[in-house]
Structure 1
Amino acid sequence: MRLRTVLATATAGLAAATCLTAAGPANAHAIPQGGHVNSPDGHACSPTVSIDRFSDALDKTTYAGTFVGNFSGLAVDRDGSLAAVSDRSALFGLDGGTLAPNAVTPLADENGAALDSEGLVVDRDGTRLISSETEPSVRRYSRDGRVLDRLPVPDALRVVPAGRAVSNGTFEGLTLLPGGRTLLASMEYALSGDSAGIVRFQTWRRGKDDKGDPFELGRQYAYRADTGLGVPEVQATPDGRLLVLERGFTSGVGNTVRLYLADPRRATDTSGVENLTGQDDVRLIRKTLLADLVNCPSLGATAKQPQPNPLLDNIEGMAITGYSKGRLKVLLVSDDNQNAVQTTRFYYLRVRI
């Protein structure tokens, strides 16, 4: 999403992943050629989150005549490589270790129109599920970019006047829950009529064998984002909980980026609730703060605009790239909006859940 400036007073394939690693040089505080910083011992952002390194290697680069950036979603492919979606209607393949692009595929809707692509899931058959916040929508694509299917969307989640969603505030995050039968999309901002900060998470369900069974509308949940922040990304953990990224921007100050662990399993199904006003009979998704990334060490990073920590930028994409005994490897990426004062930056985190 092209993140809107908000004032300070505003309210608003895991099997492959477990073996994916990324190489980087050993120096922790200088940025060598290629833009990598490595932290062999880890650097704490909080008691449960540390940052190993970051990479600016793809910032303001091109591949096959296409600008590399505007990244809004990440996923691990079945072979351990990375897929990255740009909100300018492009799907990239990236090397899992070096991040070097090795493929780019244009994306469009059924009529050939460009999309504001945001969330990305690589399904077990290798097809790509991609959300767009334009309508909003979730479509299934072949590896070569052909539209194969389109999932149903509740009327209320559509952008006004068709529904109650604000423009540029719909499906941002997209993730497949363990078992592969439930798909979840996160709205970025609240619907008209819902209390500020309460955003809806929509799910879809399919049959047990998932062989040709389409996704059908499932339960819906409510999640309260921090004041002034939206939800740009969500990823399912192996135990069925969610990593939720919250983000905001204040002009002249910079970005706020927080990582939460959330549990939807006892939350109320809000698909039949017209207005979410914080009523007592609606159980919101419970969340626990893992880290406010402003507290991460900067690792020598520089920012092109004011930031409370020069490491921060417009972080929008997230993928779980490894898991072992309650510890996750998590990769984040920022959306530079093809803007000279923003950076395409990848962040390598270790998260204990």
Structure 2
Amino acid sequence: MRGAFLALLLLTAAPAVAAPRATLIKACETPKGLVFDGGGYGGISGIDHDPRTGLWAFISDDKSERGPSHAFLGRLDLRPGAPCGPTLEAMIPLRREDGSTFPDRKAGTEAADGEAIRFDPRGQDLLWTTEGDFEHGDPPAIRRLSRDGRPVARPIARVVAPDNLRFQPDGRTGARKNATFEGLSWSVDGRSIWVSMEWPLIQDGSVPSVAAGGLTRLSRLDRSGRLLAQYAYPIDPVQAASPVGVGDNGVSEILALDARRLLVLERSGIKGADGGYAYHVRLYLADLSRAEDVSRSPSLADGKVRAVRKRLLLNFDSLGIRIDNLEAMAWGPRQKDGARTLVLASDDNYDARQINQILVLRVAP
């Protein structure tokens, strides 16, 4: 009994790990209609930075409707007051494992839906996620490619979603259309991969509404794609009512902060009477240290699960500027005082009413 009391005392006396503080240092718009090597700079759904070369990667979710599905390599100037850029240096067509590019969605075969991209911290390749092609039965997947666009066979060329995260023919379980692999992050040691679902699985409960949120799944995979663990993450309710009844909220990106904490970007899109959308975005710190592994749980709908704990770091509504459809997030270079830069980019959906936005935050403990 004395040992148990001492253990409890040590646990309660242990200092809490401080949450970082995020503040805005730059906000700008990139040009609309920019085309480079046959690929359009729009629909940017994922970005990443390689500290070894200074290069940035940008992935578009264009389904080969404006040229081949593609990503870019280029540069960003994060200094306040500097032109927003980006300066593009290469266009990389997204390819299948046989080397062929993806056709458009009308071709009758799998179309690419690129949503996240990351440099491999232990190699020279890129990983990217596709949400899958619901109509043709192609599951959500993580794919690997070289920086010149060639598919890479090892250690993984294509990792399809774990069984419980795929589309299911019965329509009563599995992933929802266009609500799958939105977020991707390497662990801080580069040994594993985090991937997030945008919405709850069908069997895990309803999608978020203005009245209530939901539970989605964060999964950790090893470098070969084997599922190591899965955790329930509580998504907020939809952040405002839509006059036409169309609004959503989900996880749009994730990023590892340390061994047990992730940054999670939640994004609400609210359709207005004019057909345009307003966006409400929040950045959370997710702590997985006390969450239970739900990889063997067939359903989370009853809510009886020890979910991930989260803490609000930044409500973008509080910045006093227009916020568009932020879907991309990556660590940038460290500042001289050791603080980190966090860069976010928006997916303009190739819509003239939306903007290609880049925000730069300072993240300090």
Decide: shared fold, TM above 0.5: yes
Correspondence 1:218 to 2:228: yes
Read off the aligned partner of 2:280 and give its amino acid letter: T
1:30-83: CA deviation from partner (whole Å, max 9, x where unpaired): xxxxxxxxxxxxxxxxx9332111221333211123211111101112312211
Q: Which has the higher contact order (CA 8 A, sep 6+)?
A: 1
- Indicate conservation of the 8 Å contact 2:97/2:158, yes or no: no
Q: Distance in 2 between matches of 1:194 and 1:178?
A: 29
What's 1:283 paired with? 306
Match of 1:76 in 2: 49
Does the 8 Å contact 1:152/1:216 carry over to 2? no
What corresponds to 2:17 in structure 1? Answer: none
Partner of 1:313 in structure 2? 324
CA contact (8 A) 2:140 2:160 kept: no
- Which one-letter code corresponds to 2:165 in the other structure? L
Which of 194, 204, 209 in structure 2 is aligned with 1:194? 204
TM-score normalised by the chain length of structure 1 = 0.77
Deviation at 1:265, TM superposition (A): 2.6
- The SS at the match of 2:164 is helix
Aligned to 1:119: 116
Q: Secondary structure at the match of 1:219?
A: strand
Q: Residue 323 of structure 1: CA displacement?
A: 4.3
Judge which range, 88-97 or 182-191, deviates more. 88-97
Distance 1:143 1:100, change over 3 A: same
SS at match of 1:276: coil
Q: Measure the CA separation in 2 of the matches of 1:58 and 1:261.
A: 31
Q: Of 317, 326, 349, which residue of structure 2 is paired with 1:294?
A: 317
* Structure 1 CA distance for aligned equivalents of residues 250 and 158 of structure 2: 25
For each residue in 1:238-274, what CA deviation from the matched residue of structure 2 results, as whole angstroms up to 9, or x when unmatched? 4541110000111126111000011123211111000
1:1-353 correspondence runs (5 A): 48-77=21-50, 78-88=52-62, 89-97=69-77, 98-110=85-97, 112=100, 113=102, 114-123=111-120, 124-134=122-132, 135-148=139-152, 149-161=157-169, 164-196=174-206, 197-206=214-223, 214-228=224-238, 229-238=249-258, 240-252=260-272, 254-280=278-304, 282-298=305-321, 311-323=322-334, 327-353=339-365
TM-score for the superposition, normalised by structure 2: 0.74
8 Å Cα contact 1:60-1:344 kept in structure 2: no
- Highest CA radius of gyration, 1 or 2? 2
Matched AA of 1:236: A
CA positional deviation for 1:328: 2.8
Q: Which stretches in structure 2 are left out of the alignment for 5+ residues?
A: 1-19, 63-68, 78-84, 103-110, 133-138, 207-213, 239-248
- Report how many aligned residue pairs link the two structures: 287
Q: Which blocks of at least 5 consecutive residues in structure 1 are unaligned?
A: 1-46, 207-213, 299-310
**1:217 shift after superposition:** 1.8
Distance 1:221 1:279, change over 3 A: same
Q: Which 4+ runs in 1 deviate beyond 3 A?
A: 322-327
CA distance 1:236–1:326, shift in 2 (3 Å) = farther
Distance 1:133 1:220 in 2: 18
Match of 1:156, SS? helix
Shift of residue 283, structure 1, vs aligned partner: 1.4
Indicate the SS of the match to 2:26: strand
Mean Cα displacement is larger for which, 266-275 or 51-60?
51-60
Residue by residue over 1:274-326, the C-alpha shift from the partner in whole angstroms, topping out at 9 and shown as x without a partner, is 0002533x21111100111011032xxxxxxxxxxxx2101100001134778
Q: Deviations over 1:197-248 (max 9, x none)?
A: 2111111124xxxxxxx34221111101101210010011145411100001
Provide the identity percentage: 37
In structure 2, C-alpha distance between the alignment counterparts of 1:312 and 1:226, rounded to whole Å: 18
What amino acid is the match of 2:218?
F
The CA deviation at 1:330 is: 0.6
| Counterparts of 2:259 and 2:222, CA distance in 1 | 18
* 1:59–1:345 CA contact under 8 A, matched in 2: no
Supply the distance in 1 between the matched residues of 2:289 and 2:201 (Cα, whole angstroms). Answer: 22
C-alpha root-mean-square deviation of aligned residues, in Å?
2.0
Matched residue type, 2:222? R
Q: Secondary structure at the match of 1:126?
A: coil
Letter in 2 for 1:265: S
Distance in structure 1 (CA, Å) of the matches to 2:338 and 2:268 = 28
* Contact 1:178–1:240, Cα closer than 8 Å, also in 2: no
When structure 1 is superposed on structure 2, of 150-159 and 285-294 the one drifting more is 150-159
Q: Tell me, what secondary structure is at the counterpart of 1:341?
A: coil
Rounded to whole Å, the distance in 2 between the matches of 1:226 and 1:349 is 22
**Does the 8 Å CA contact 1:92/1:105 hold for their aligned counterparts?**
yes
**Corresponding residue number in structure 2 for 1:306:** none
Partner Cα separation in structure 1 for residue 363 and residue 181 of structure 2: 25
8 Å Cα contact 1:177-1:184 kept in structure 2: yes
